[in-house]
Amino acid sequence: MSESVQKVSARDFLAVLQSAEEPLVIDVRTVAEVGHEYLDGSVNMPLHELSPSKVRTCVTEKNTGEGPIHLLCGTGKRAESAIEKLKGEVANPLLIIDGGIQALKQAGCSLNKGQGRVMSLERQVRVAAGSLVLAGVLLGTFLNSGFFALSAFVGAGLIFAGITDTCAMGMLLARMPWNSVTR
């Protein structure tokens, strides 16, 4: 099994796209995010559904052999989490497209636009966290001071997410029905 994990810049990846062989790209964003815009030829496997067996099946179906697997997400963070799930379990080299879809757009990559209207998972987390904090403050002010604990709980969760670079709220939101809408 390969322990090799590397990042490839968006510009270097564009050169790979222009080569004769089509690279295997696994997009670990939610179905709804991919439905908004996506890289042609990529395979969508949302991070919360990603497993080594699914990736091995994909490698076999795409006839990739021992070629690299490029992991793509919005900014690169979820691709790093995907590496942790796959490291040591998949024989192919794992490459993170550094900066994700955002970096590809900045590098001039042509992306397909879907019909999806769902905002990115990161924006959903900010809206949800902000709403919960505001609700805790308003309810604590006007109903019962115990509701301030809701704001404290969300604040503690954000601190934990920042320190550990994991986000439980993001993983929960990724499973919501509006994030399962197809292209």
Percentage, residues of the chain above pLDDT 90: 75
pLDDT tens readout for residues 46-66: 999 999 999 999 999 998 889
**Per-residue pLDDT averaged across 138-163, rounded?**
96
Tell me, what's the pLDDT at 16? 92
List the catalytic residue out of 58, 73, 109, 167: 73
Q: For the range 143-152, what are the long-range contacts, defined as Cβ-Cβ under 8 Å and sequence gap of 24 or more?
A: none
**Per-residue pLDDT averaged across 148-154, rounded?**
97
Average pLDDT over the chain, rounded to whole? 91
Q: For the chain, count helices (H), then strands (E).
A: 8, 7
* Interatomic CA distance for residues 8 and 15, integer angstroms: 11
**73 among known catalytic residues:** yes
Tell me, what's the pLDDT at 5? 63
User: Residues 108, 133: contact at Cβ < 8 Å?
Assistant: no
2 has a pLDDT exceeding 50: no
34: number of Cβ within 10 Å = 26
Tokens standing for 21? 């062989």
pLDDT tens readout for residues 165-183: 889 999 999 899 988 765 4
pLDDT tens readout for residues 107-142: 999 999 887 777 888 899 999 999 999 999 999 999
Largest Cα span, the chain:
65
